[in-house]
């Protein structure tokens, strides 16, 4: 950063506005920004949803099954009114329910691993929406975040790093031309299967879901098919154009996701400011005495016994929530608040008995983690894995997993050799 | 590599809008504009959805709702403006036709919330069936009924049916948590609100008197315990 003083020496040449605009357009069309951030969001949310589904496995019939308290018939009557999307409305059969639940679990696992990320992210969304919309009166804030992010993730290229997709791409690149020519069959097979589902979904569209969901699904499916065709037969400019479109969708959805997180904190914070309990510094005392949110009453009692502590935490919560969106412009402060928020959510997980909610919020926060930290974290995780599996460090056999485009500099841009992916937030 | 040096020594990108020729560039530019507009519009809608009622939402509230509901609905007023300051619990009593001698009797009040609380205590990962099901159902029931306890439209009636089914699952049959030992013919619900006492360091005087509200007796029909066609 240069000092704002009008120093005559190191003053950078003024870049005309239209140049800046062109550069920005090039950036958002040539790169899917935040490869590490989007990957950690993918991992965080798929893990959260997976934990949740596994934990609720014994309760799945009571929660989402056709014979649960919120019966198929009740759900049908509500959905006829609100038009929510759930494939569980296709049939009231027990088997169909088990299939959907199983697919939701499988999609969470595969999204976590980053296996055919784009296609799987769509299945993940369909699974999450189907279960949650089937029983809307069962969810809490955690379900709500998963719901929203699962939709945004379908447009985000969240498998650029830390995924099986990235490993496959790296291996192919290592094999060179020959490897690139080898025809992949899994992708097309997956595409055909999903196409069948899509036709079924469209058939059932009068029963459930708004029109745009079907448009989204069809666009994504056709886009995947087009992508494959272009890769095979028109690797020139059409391929570059498709990449541009995918990057645009990614960057737009990522922006929306980040703004969404800011809106969550802004809403939570600004409304609290208006509450008398948050003003007099006793707010936290009350949740600590609600039966539904005190799995460890002695612990809650201990925390609630100190008036100063309760006030500090109550005020701190409001200050952090209100301030967070504004700190995004100041990297260091942002990172401090990010740590504070993640710690607070970890505390909430234990103290209020809301682990799924807390995990989802931490996963959402993670979109703002700095790239250096994530890269370091990734290296640590890889080393731990290698130690655990007692194998040679991955570097010996494979090139490190990095997004393909990151290696090169930006044209006319900040192209110094190191070029760590400077994201909007990094 | 995203750039290479061409004959004139100038760096030419191989990705992004600058790597495209004119017709393709037009497509990319249109897509860029569309993506930007859509993202801004969506964010504006979400903002208006979470913001307090204001000039814009008073005039265009329907447009915002159409955009947001059902998939982008959200509520982040977590413990805001004030946290909940009372413990709400649900009790039920039932008129039961005994399995053994066919006699009819009315049970005492069974505290369903107490069952939930017992399950949550010492639980690292409480299930939604323990933490959310009854809590949110009674909350919804309240919202879907007017002051006199009359259901507001279809949702009001749905919330009643939902409550009946939740209750039956917990008090009727061998698998029930508090089996009443017979066929339930009628039930009555009671909602009790017990304010949390003020903190000991506070000088504020707050009544901790519980207040209860009884709902009318409801007949239980087969629809409240019916199984769907395929699984029967």
Higher pLDDT, B65 or A390: B65
Render pLDDT for A52-91 as a digit per residue (tens, 0 to 9): 999 999 999 999 999 999 999 999 999 999 999 999 999 9
| CA dist., res. A285 & res. A337, Å (int) | 23
- Cβ-nearest to B3 among A70, A78, A409: A409
Per the listing, tokens 């494979």 go with A398
Residues 6 or more apart in contact with residue B159 via CB below 8 angstroms: B137, B140, B141, B144, B145, B151
Tell me the pairing of strands B211-214 and B182-195. Answer: antiparallel
Contact B123 A30 (CB under 8 A): no
Higher pLDDT, A413 or A36: A36
**Is residue A413 pLDDT above 50, yes or no?**
no
Per the listing, tokens 């997976």 go with A50
Render pLDDT for A364-385 as a digit per residue (tens, 0 to 9): 999 999 999 999 999 999 999 9
**Is residue B191 pLDDT above 60, yes or no?**
yes
A330: tokens are: 């100041």
Mean pLDDT rounded to a whole number for chain B: 91
Minimum distance, in Å, between the CA of residue A192 and any CA atom of chain B: 27
Which residues in chain A are contacts of B169 at CB distance < 8 A?
62, 69
The whole-number average pLDDT for the span B1-11 is 50
Render pLDDT for A124-144 as a digit per residue (tens, 0 to 9): 999 999 999 999 999 999 999
Q: Contact A284/A304 with Cβ under 8 angstroms?
A: yes
**Is residue A418 pLDDT above 50, yes or no?**
no
pLDDT at B226: 65
A307 in contact with B at a CB cutoff of 8 Å?
Answer: yes
**Is residue A340 pLDDT above 80, yes or no?**
yes
A63 in contact with B at a CB cutoff of 8 Å?
Answer: yes
Q: Contact B219/B113 with Cβ under 8 angstroms?
A: no
Contact A355 B87 (CB under 8 A): no
pLDDT at A422: 35
Residues 6 or more apart in contact with residue B135 via CB below 8 angstroms: A292, B88, B113, B116
pLDDT at B10: 56
Question: Percentage of chain A with pLDDT > 70?
Answer: 87
Q: Contact A366/A44 with Cβ under 8 angstroms?
A: yes
Render pLDDT for A147-156 as a digit per residue (tens, 0 to 9): 999 999 999 9
| CA dist., res. A257 & res. B144, Å (int) | 32
B212 in contact with A at a CB cutoff of 8 Å?
Answer: no
A258 in contact with B at a CB cutoff of 8 Å?
Answer: no
Contact B18 A411 (CB under 8 A): yes
Query: pLDDT confidence of A1, banded at 50, 70, 90?
Result: very low
Q: What is the DSSP letter of A284?
A: G
Q: Quick count: other Cβ atoms within 10 Å of Cβ A234?
A: 13
Minimum distance, in Å, between the CA of residue B104 and any CA atom of chain A: 25
Beta bridge partners of B97: B104, B183
The whole-number average pLDDT for the span A157-181 is 87
Residues 6 or more apart in contact with residue A404 via CB below 8 angstroms: A169, A173
Q: What is the DSSP letter of A7?
A: -
- Cβ-nearest to A263 among B50, B73, B202: B50
pLDDT at A182: 67
Which residues in chain B are contacts of A85 at CB distance < 8 A?
70-71
A401 in contact with B at a CB cutoff of 8 Å?
Answer: no
pLDDT at B206: 85
- Cβ-nearest to B228 among A67, A70, A271: A67
pLDDT at A87: 97
| CA dist., res. A65 & res. A56, Å (int) | 12
B31 in contact with A at a CB cutoff of 8 Å?
Answer: yes
Q: What is the DSSP letter of B111?
A: E
Question: Percentage of chain B with pLDDT > 70?
Answer: 92
Query: pLDDT confidence of B112, banded at 50, 70, 90?
Result: very high
Query: pLDDT confidence of B230, banded at 50, 70, 90?
Result: very low
pLDDT at A181: 63
B199 in contact with A at a CB cutoff of 8 Å?
Answer: yes
Q: Which of A214, A285, A424 to mutate to test the interface with B (most CBs of B within 10 A)?
A: A285
Which residues in chain B are contacts of A265 at CB distance < 8 A?
76
B153 in contact with A at a CB cutoff of 8 Å?
Answer: no
Q: Where are the domains of chain B?
A: 3-68, 86-231
Which residues in chain B are contacts of A283 at CB distance < 8 A?
79, 82-83
Render pLDDT for A183-240 as a digit per residue (tens, 0 to 9): 788 999 999 999 999 999 999 999 999 999 999 999 999 999 999 999 999 889 999 9
Query: Burial level of B122, CB count in 10 A (0-12/13-18/19+)?
Result: exposed
Q: Contact A173/A399 with Cβ under 8 angstroms?
A: yes
Q: Which of A137, A276, A283, A405 to mutate to test the interface with B (most CBs of B within 10 A)?
A: A137
Q: Which of A29, A210, A237, A294 to mutate to test the interface with B (most CBs of B within 10 A)?
A: A29
- Cβ-nearest to A237 among B20, B127, B230: B20
**Is residue A399 pLDDT above 80, yes or no?**
no
Q: Cα angle at A354 between A348 and A356, to 5 degrees?
A: 115
Render pLDDT for A89-109 as a digit per residue (tens, 0 to 9): 999 999 999 999 999 999 999
């Amino acid at each position: 950063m240069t000092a704002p003083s009008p120093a005559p020496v190191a003053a950078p040449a003024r870049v005309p506005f239209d140049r800046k605009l062109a550069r920005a357009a090039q950036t958002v069309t040539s790169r899917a920004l935040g490869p590490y951030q989007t990957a950690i969001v993918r991992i965080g949310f798929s893990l959260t949803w997976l934990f949740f589904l596994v934990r609720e496995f014994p309760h799945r019939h009571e929660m989402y099954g056709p014979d649960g308290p919120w019966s198929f018939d009740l759900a049908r009557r509500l959905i006829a009114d609100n038009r929510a999307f759930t494939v569980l409305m296709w049939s009231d059969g027990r088997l169909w329910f088990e299939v959907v639940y199983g697919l939701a679990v499988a999609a969470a696992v595969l999204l976590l691993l980053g296996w055919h990320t784009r296609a799987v992210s769509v299945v993940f969304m369909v699974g999450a929406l189907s279960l949650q919309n089937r029983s809307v009166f069962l969810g809490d804030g955690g379900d709500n975040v998963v719901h929203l992010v699962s939709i945004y993730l379908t447009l985000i290229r969240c498998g650029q790093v830390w995924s099986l997709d990235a490993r496959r791409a790296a291996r192919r690149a290592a094999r060179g031309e020959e490897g690139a020519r080898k025809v992949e069959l899994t992708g097309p097979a997956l595409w055909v299967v999903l196409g069948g589902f899509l036709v079924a979904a469209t058939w059932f569209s009068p029963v459930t879901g708004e029109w745009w969901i079907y448009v989204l699904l069809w666009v994504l499916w056709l886009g995947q098919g087009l992508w494959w065709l272009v890769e095979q037969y028109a690797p020139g400019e059409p391929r570059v154009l498709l990449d541009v479109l995918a990057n645009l969708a990614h960057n737009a959805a990522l922006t929306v996701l980040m703004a969404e997180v800011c809106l969550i904190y802004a809403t939570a914070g600004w409304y609290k400011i208006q509450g008398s309990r948050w003003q007099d510094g006793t707010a936290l005392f009350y949740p600590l005495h609600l039966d539904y949110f005190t799995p460890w009453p002695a612990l809650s009692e201990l925390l609630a016994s100190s008036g100063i502590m309760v006030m500090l935490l109550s005020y701190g919560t409001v200050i952090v929530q209100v301030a967070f969106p504004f700190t995004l412009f100041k990297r260091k402060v942002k990172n401090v608040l990010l740590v504070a928020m993640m710690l607070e959510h970890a505390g909430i997980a234990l103290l209020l008995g809301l682990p799924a909610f807390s995990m989802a919020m931490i996963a959402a926060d993670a979109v703002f983690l700095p790239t250096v930290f994530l890269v370091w974290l990734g290296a640590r995780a890889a080393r731990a894995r290698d130690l655990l599996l007692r194998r040679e460090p991955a570097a010996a056999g494979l090139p490190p997993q990095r997004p393909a485009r990151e290696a090169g500099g930006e044209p006319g841009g900040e192209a110094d050799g190191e070029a760590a992916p400077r994201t909007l937030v990094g | 590599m995203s750039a290479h040096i061409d004959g004139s020594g100038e760096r030419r990108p191989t990705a992004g809008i600058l790597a495209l020729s004119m017709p393709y560039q037009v497509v990319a530019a249109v897509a860029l504009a569309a993506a930007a507009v859509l993202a801004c519009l969506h964010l504006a809608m979400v903002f208006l959805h979470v913001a307090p009622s204001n000039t814009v939402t008073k005039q265009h509230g329907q447009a915002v709702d159409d955009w947001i509901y059902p998939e982008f609905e959200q509520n982040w007023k977590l413990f805001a403006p004030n946290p909940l300051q009372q413990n709400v619990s649900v009790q039920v009593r039932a008129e039961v036709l005994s399995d053994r001698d066919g006699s009819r009797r009315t049970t005492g009040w069974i505290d369903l919330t107490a069952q939930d609380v017992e399950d949550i205590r010492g639980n690292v990962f409480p299930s939604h069936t323990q933490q959310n099901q009854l809590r949110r159902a009674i909350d919804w029931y309240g919202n879907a009924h007017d002051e006199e306890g009359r259901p507001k439209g279809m949702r009001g009636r749905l919330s009643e049916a939902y409550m009946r089914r939740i209750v039956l699952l917990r008090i009727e049959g061998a698998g029930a948590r508090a089996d009443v030992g017979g066929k339930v013919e009628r039930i009555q619900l009671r909602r009790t609100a017990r304010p949390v006492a003020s903190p000991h360091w506070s000088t504020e005087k707050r009544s901790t008197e519980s207040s209860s509200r009884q709902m009318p007796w409801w007949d239980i029909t087969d629809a409240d315990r019916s199984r769907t066609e395929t699984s029967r």
